[in-house]
């Protein structure tokens, strides 16, 4: 299977800037204008200050593994050739309450080294017409 057989994210009006940034290999997240809270899921009301004005900003792309799993079975046929693969929940450097879920691009020989709090950095996977933010070990 080719990389294009993987599921292709479909941007919505709320998250379109995230995908447009990724297409330029830029990691952007929604940030509250009032309090600066980064959020990995676009919101209409800030959960911290209840503000309703947001911007799209570029965090560093660095973070740490908050949790991870090694996927050995998948229901997504496009990922069959990559089994086993790693999915991480990354705590971004700028905001301890902001987590981004993505694949960890890592060699199988390094799976034994995986642990929580390991530093990671964003990377990008071009998947057909869409580019998907992923992470690598930093
Ligand atoms: Zn806020």
Burial degree of 83 (CB within 10 A; 0-12, 13-18, 19+): exposed
- pLDDT of 2 > 70? The answer is no
How far does residue 100's CA lie from ligand 1's centre (Å)? 18
Query: In the prediction, which pLDDT does 79 show?
Result: 87
How far does residue 13's CA lie from ligand 1's centre (Å)? 20
87 within domain boundaries: yes
Mean pLDDT over 77-84 rounds to 90
How far does residue 97's CA lie from ligand 1's centre (Å)? 12
Query: In the prediction, which pLDDT does 129 show?
Result: 85
116 within domain boundaries: yes
User: Do 41 and 14 meet the contact criterion of CB atoms below 8 Å apart?
Assistant: no
Which range of residues forms the domain containing residue 16? 11-137
Residue 117 CA to residue 94 CA, distance in Å, equals 15
How far does residue 35's CA lie from ligand 1's centre (Å)? 4
How far does residue 42's CA lie from ligand 1's centre (Å)? 12
36 within domain boundaries: yes
102 within domain boundaries: yes
- pLDDT of 73 > 90? The answer is yes
Give the count of domains, the chain. 1
4 within domain boundaries: no
77 within domain boundaries: yes
How far does residue 93's CA lie from ligand 1's centre (Å)? 18
The model's pLDDT over 116-136, given as tens digits with 9 standing for 90+, comes to 999 999 999 998 888 999 999
Query: In the prediction, which pLDDT does 119 show?
Result: 98
26 within domain boundaries: yes
2 within domain boundaries: no
The model's pLDDT over 13-69, given as tens digits with 9 standing for 90+, comes to 999 999 999 999 999 999 999 999 999 999 999 999 999 999 999 999 999 999 999
Confidence of residue 1 (pLDDT cuts 50, 70, 90): very low
């Amino acid at each position: 299977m080719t990389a294009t057989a993987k599921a292709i994210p479909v941007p919505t009006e709320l998250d379109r800037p995230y995908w447009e940034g990724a297409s330029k290999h830029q990691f952007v997240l929604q940030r509250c204008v009032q309090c600066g809270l980064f959020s990995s899921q676009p919101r209409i009301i800030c959960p911290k200050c209840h503000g309703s004005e947001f911007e799209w900003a570029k965090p560093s792309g660095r973070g740490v593994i908050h949790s991870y799993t090694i996927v050995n079975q998948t229901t997504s046929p496009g990922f069959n050739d990559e089994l086993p693969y790693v999915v991480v929940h990354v705590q971004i450097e700028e905001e301890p309450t902001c987590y981004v879920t993505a694949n960890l691009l890592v060699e199988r020989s390094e799976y034994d080294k995986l642990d929580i709090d390991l530093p990671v950095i964003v990377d990008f996977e071009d998947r057909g017409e869409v580019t998907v933010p992923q992470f690598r070990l930093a």
